[in-house]
């Protein structure tokens, strides 16, 4: 499919295809918008079934990053990178360094960081070839992993969603289903457990699932069963496009708020959730904590207290967004898109 006719193409500023025969690198970098600043977005390493599937993912994810940065009040645009490879078997230092050279070729218009399939250690290797990398270990030795900050932002978003969707200010006894208990999902589960929530967990990694369920006294279910769980809230924290024609109809939860990017399989799912009386929290608003932390890491005046206050502003944004959506009779996803596009000049 030609790029400019692709359904996910949204007047992206630049899309770069990169190949390095020696390392086996096959990568795509998409820069969606740079109105507010350089495009920041993670590097996803995944064994896509086809080049078209990889292109679809990187176009959607980069657009979401523009919206995320705008809604988080950051001086950044949106971008994303993908490498078509299995992160468990194909990832080598040579491949990562080749990716670093590809990022460097953009001259700072794109800043990469860790994402699904890539790690802080991988960013250190990429940084051998380019300075345009976020999420690195700081000089004092503290980890640059943004996952805990993403989880805290989702937790702040979740509290706002519970207030507006369920009419309650506490989480004690709230039943929450978490789909995906990797770095972010596990941190979120611990925050919720500490707040008194009852958890239903799932993950394709059975060992990680069992370990966390035992630690938190949570119920563990098979991945497909999570959509049928009798819960108040569903937190998608794995891959995207999980809210589709089938799963939306099965939900018992009255609120959706999670860390996964691109949770809606199609924009129409936002309307379907609203029609079913389910409050959807726009994913790129809820999961902005990590990008806020990475943006602050690049500042000379990094201050942890200021970072946490900025992240907690996610809840404040949603306290504005949810009532506006209700007043206008629109889904929160539609209103969030409009607010973001106003901020980066495409409204």
pLDDT tens, residue by residue, 166-197 = 999 999 999 999 999 998 999 999 999 999 99
pLDDT tens, residue by residue, 63-75 = 999 999 999 999 9
Query: Whole-angstrom Cα distance, residue 49 to residue 276?
Result: 34
Query: Whole-angstrom Cα distance, residue 31 to residue 94?
Result: 24
Q: Is residue 122 part of a domain?
A: yes
Q: In the structure encoding, which two tokens stand for residue 310, read together?
A: 């900025």
Query: Whole-angstrom Cα distance, residue 209 to residue 316?
Result: 32
Query: Whole-angstrom Cα distance, residue 286 to residue 155?
Result: 8
pLDDT tens, residue by residue, 125-162 = 999 999 999 988 766 656 668 889 999 999 999 999 99
68 as an active site residue: the answer is no
Q: Please check whether residue 111 is in contact with residue 79, taking contact to mean a CB–CB distance below 8 angstroms.
A: yes
How many other C-beta atoms are found inside a 10 Å radius of the C-beta of residue 96? Answer: 24
3-state secondary structure of 141: coil
Q: In the structure encoding, which two tokens stand for residue 223, read together?
A: 């991945």
Q: Is residue 275 part of a domain?
A: yes
Q: Is residue 206 domain-shared with residue 285, that is, in the same domain?
A: yes
The catalytic position among 26, 68, 80, 159 is 80
Query: Whole-angstrom Cα distance, residue 334 to residue 268?
Result: 10
* CA neighbor of 310 nearest in space, from 327, 290, 330, 325: 290
Question: Which secondary-structure segment (H or E) carries 101?
Answer: helix 93-104
Q: Is residue 164 domain-shared with residue 111, that is, in the same domain?
A: no
Q: Is residue 247 domain-shared with residue 289, that is, in the same domain?
A: yes
Q: Is residue 181 domain-shared with residue 32, that is, in the same domain?
A: no
Q: Is residue 161 domain-shared with residue 309, that is, in the same domain?
A: yes
Q: Is residue 24 part of a domain?
A: yes
Q: Please check whether residue 116 is in contact with residue 129, taking contact to mean a CB–CB distance below 8 angstroms.
A: no
Q: Is residue 71 part of a domain?
A: no
Q: Is residue 141 part of a domain?
A: no
Query: Whole-angstrom Cα distance, residue 157 to residue 136?
Result: 26
* pLDDT the model gives residue 346: 86
Q: Is residue 113 domain-shared with residue 190, that is, in the same domain?
A: no
Q: Is residue 219 domain-shared with residue 102, that is, in the same domain?
A: no
Q: Is residue 172 domain-shared with residue 91, that is, in the same domain?
A: no
CATH code of 167's domain: 3.40.50.720
| Strand-strand pairing, 77-84 and 25-33 | antiparallel
Q: What is the mean pLDDT of the chain?
A: 95
Q: How many folded domains does the chain comprise?
A: 2
pLDDT tens, residue by residue, 257-280 = 999 988 999 999 999 999 999 999
Q: Tokens 């609120």 appear where?
A: 255
pLDDT tens, residue by residue, 199-208 = 999 999 999 9
Task: Give me the domain span that covers residue 187.
Answer: 147-343
Question: In Å, what is the CA distance from 197 to each residue of 169, 177, 345?
Answer: 13, 10, 40
Q: Is residue 120 domain-shared with residue 171, that is, in the same domain?
A: no
Q: Is residue 231 domain-shared with residue 102, that is, in the same domain?
A: no
Kindly state the greatest CA–CA separation across the chain. 57
238-248: average pLDDT: 94
Lowest mean pLDDT among 289-298, 304-313, 318-327: 289-298
Q: Is residue 137 part of a domain?
A: no
pTM above 0.85, yes or no: yes
Q: Is residue 106 domain-shared with residue 252, that is, in the same domain?
A: no
Q: Is residue 268 domain-shared with residue 191, that is, in the same domain?
A: yes
Rama region for 112: left / alpha / beta (φ>0; ψ in -120 to 50; rest): beta
Q: Is residue 139 part of a domain?
A: no
Q: Is residue 70 part of a domain?
A: no
Query: Whole-angstrom Cα distance, residue 45 to residue 218?
Result: 30
* pLDDT the model gives residue 300: 87
CATH code of 98's domain: 3.40.50.10860
* CA neighbor of 284 nearest in space, from 74, 10, 71: 71
pLDDT tens, residue by residue, 19-72 = 999 999 999 999 999 999 999 999 999 999 999 999 999 999 999 999 999 999
Q: Which residues neighbour 115 within 8 Å (Cβ) at sequence distance 6 or greater?
A: 41, 42, 43, 44, 80
Query: Whole-angstrom Cα distance, residue 138 to residue 51?
Result: 35
* 74 HSE (CA, 13 A, CB side): 34
């Amino acid at each position: 499919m030609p790029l400019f006719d692709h359904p996910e193409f949204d007047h992206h500023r630049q899309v770069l295809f990169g190949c390095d025969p020696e390392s086996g690198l096959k990568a795509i970098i998409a820069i969606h918008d740079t109105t507010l600043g350089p495009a920041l977005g993670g590097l996803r390493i995944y064994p896509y079934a086809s080049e078209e599937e990889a292109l679809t993912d990187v176009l959607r994810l980069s657009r979401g990053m523009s919206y995320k940065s705008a809604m988080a009040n950051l001086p950044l645009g949106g971008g994303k990178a993908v490498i078509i490879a299995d992160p468990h078997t194909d990832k080598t230092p040579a491949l990562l360094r080749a990716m670093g050279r590809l990022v460097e070729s953009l001259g700072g218009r794109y800043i990469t960081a860790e994402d699904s399939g890539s790690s802080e250690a991988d960013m250190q290797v990429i940084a051998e070839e380019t300075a345009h990398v976020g999420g690195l270990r700081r000089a004092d030795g503290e980890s640059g992993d943004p996952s805990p900050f993403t989880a805290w932002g989702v937790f702040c978003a979740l509290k706002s969603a519970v207030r507006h969707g369920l009419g309650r200010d506490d989480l004690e006894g709230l039943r929450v289903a978490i789909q995906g208990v990797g770095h972010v999902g596990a941190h979120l589960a611990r925050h919720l457990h500490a707040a008194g929530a009852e958890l239903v967990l799932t993950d394709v990694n059975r060992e990680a699932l069992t370990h966390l369920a035992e630690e938190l006294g949570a119920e563990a279910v098979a991945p497909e069963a999570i959509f049928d769980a009798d819960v108040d809230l569903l937190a998608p924290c794995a891959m995207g496009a999980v809210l589709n024609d089938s799963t939306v109809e099965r939900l018992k939860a009255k609120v959706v708020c999670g860390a996964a990017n691109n949770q809606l399989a199609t924009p129409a799912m936002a309307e379907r959730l609203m029609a079913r009386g389910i409050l959807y929290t726009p994913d790129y608003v809820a999961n902005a904590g990590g990008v806020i932390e990475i943006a602050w890491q690049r500042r000379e005046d990094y201050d942890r207290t200021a970072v946490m206050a900025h992240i907690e502003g996610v809840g404040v944004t949603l306290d504005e967004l949810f009532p506006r959506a209700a007043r206008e009779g629109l889904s929160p996803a539609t209103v969030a898109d409009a607010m973001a596009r106003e901020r980066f000049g495409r409204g």
